[in-house]
Amino acid sequence: MKETMMDYIIETEAVCKTNLQQAKILIQPLMECFLEWEYEKILIVASGSSANAALCAKYFMQDTLYCDVEVISPYTFTHYTKYVDDKTFVFAISQSGSSTNTIDAIEKIQKLNRKAIVLTGNIHSDVASADVVIDYGVGKESVGYVTKGVSTLALYLCIFAIHTSYQLEYISAKDVDGFHAQLSCIYDAYPQLITQAVDFYRSHQKALLSMSKLFICAVGPNIGAACEGALKISETVKIPAFAYEIEEYIHGPNLQLDPSYTVICIDNHDASSKRVQDIWHATTCITDHSYLISRGIEGDTIYHYDLDVLPTLSPLIHVVLFQVLAYQITTEKNQWEDHILMKDFNKVVKSKTK
């Protein structure tokens, strides 16, 4: 039987638990590269869901490694980055290993006289042209609308940060155990998170099936979850879906709102919470299809969960809801097929080598 998005969402739990158990071995090649020099910044070259996974991990990486982390698209990097200084650790990511923009970025890194490092789910793919090719532990994922790849990549980057920070003596062994315990808590709860996401969908089925325009608003660590949610829903449900930083949302984009819009706000459960909740509440004045994801409060239009984890790890929880919503809505609307004219589009321009 052909695998579905939901199969891979469910499979994520076991894969991430295995990767967490073998964390030191899994991240060793990337950590060794990082420890070759005293880096002060990390530059991650990635697009699509790989970029979103990196954004999900970005703030945890920064807090744990005490350095800035920037995520840049491969096309922009290739054509507009002129210089990468010696204090910047740069690597690319491509789950499939066949993204043409990432392959070009690898060549650009080499032209800058830097070691080209790539994380991938297929070490035998076209990104093997890099100097260092690292399997980040996703395994097989044959559905193009990736889910397991996003979650395993975000986890990989988090455990890379944890164990590298320990090697640099920024954190203690007790800190390592504490971070691992929080990550284990997330994956132990995965079946519950999936069930809860399905239940949330069922509770709002009519509204979500009729959704025609979607805004997802977040700040800080959950910008990654918002971007991935917008991407996953736009490519599956095939409606306009946009991610906004929460304050940017009310500086213009909100002016187009009417009762037909759907807006989802993500609460980090940190210092930004009150502002996020206030903006969500203001949005309910215009549309009944205004939802909040929150650990702090409950309600009919609130996706609430009880996991007590760092705000910087919460994106690993929140992406599950968007993955489930994308699958449920697309399946029940029978929307999996692309528009017939997309075949003509793909004849003119390609994003993959295969």
190-333 falls under which CATH superfamily? Glucose-6-phosphate isomerase like protein; domain 1 (3.40.50.10490)
pLDDT category at 172 given cuts 50, 70, 90 is very high
Phi, psi of 124 (to 5 degrees): -100, 15
Tens-digit pLDDT profile for residues 222-245 = 999 999 999 999 999 999 999 999
- The predicted model gives 251-262 an average pLDDT of 98
CA distance 75 to 183: 33
Note the pLDDT of residue 2.
Answer: 86
Instruction: Say which range, 160-169, 203-212, 341-350, has the weakest mean pLDDT.
Output: 341-350
Note the pLDDT of residue 227.
Answer: 98
Note the pLDDT of residue 4.
Answer: 95
Note the pLDDT of residue 24.
Answer: 96
In this predicted structure, the answer to whether residue 88 has a pLDDT above a threshold of 90 is yes
Provide the residue ranges of all domains of the chain, joining segments of one domain with +: 5-171, 190-333
In this predicted structure, the answer to whether residue 6 has a pLDDT above a threshold of 80 is yes
Q: What share of the chain is helix, strand, coil (3-state, %, to 5)?
A: 55, 15, 30
In this predicted structure, the answer to whether residue 318 has a pLDDT above a threshold of 90 is yes
Instruction: Say which range, 40-44, 52-56, 284-288, 346-350, has the weakest mean pLDDT.
Output: 346-350
pLDDT category at 350 given cuts 50, 70, 90 is confident
In this predicted structure, the answer to whether residue 296 has a pLDDT above a threshold of 80 is no
Q: How far is CA 188 from CA 8, 194, 207, in A?
A: 16, 12, 31
Closest by CA to 214, choosing from 191, 192, 237, 187, is: 237
CA distance 335 to 52: 23
The chain-wide mean pLDDT, for the chain, equals: 96
Q: How many residues does the chain have?
A: 354
Tens-digit pLDDT profile for residues 212-224 = 999 999 999 999 9
The residue written with tokens 């080209």 in the block is: 116
Note the pLDDT of residue 179.
Answer: 98
DSSP labels for 293-311? EESS---TTEEE------G
Same fold, 5-171 and 190-333: yes
pLDDT category at 1 given cuts 50, 70, 90 is confident
Note the pLDDT of residue 354.
Answer: 72
Closest by CA to 207, choosing from 279, 284, 290, is: 290
Largest CA distance in the chain: 56
Starting at the edge strand found earlier in the chain, the sheet holding 68-72 runs: 68-72, 41-45, 88-94, 117-120, 132-135
CATH number of 5-171: 3.40.50.10490
pLDDT category at 353 given cuts 50, 70, 90 is confident
Closest by CA to 19, choosing from 162, 224, 116, 175, is: 162
- The predicted model gives 108-125 an average pLDDT of 94
Dihedral of CA 182/183/189/193: which sign?
positive
**Contact at 8 Å (CB) between 322 and 225?**
yes
Instruction: State the DSSP H helix or E strand holding residue 93, giving kind and residue range, or none if neither.
Output: strand 88-94
Angle at alpha carbon of residue 13, lines to 12 and 18, rounded to 5°: 95
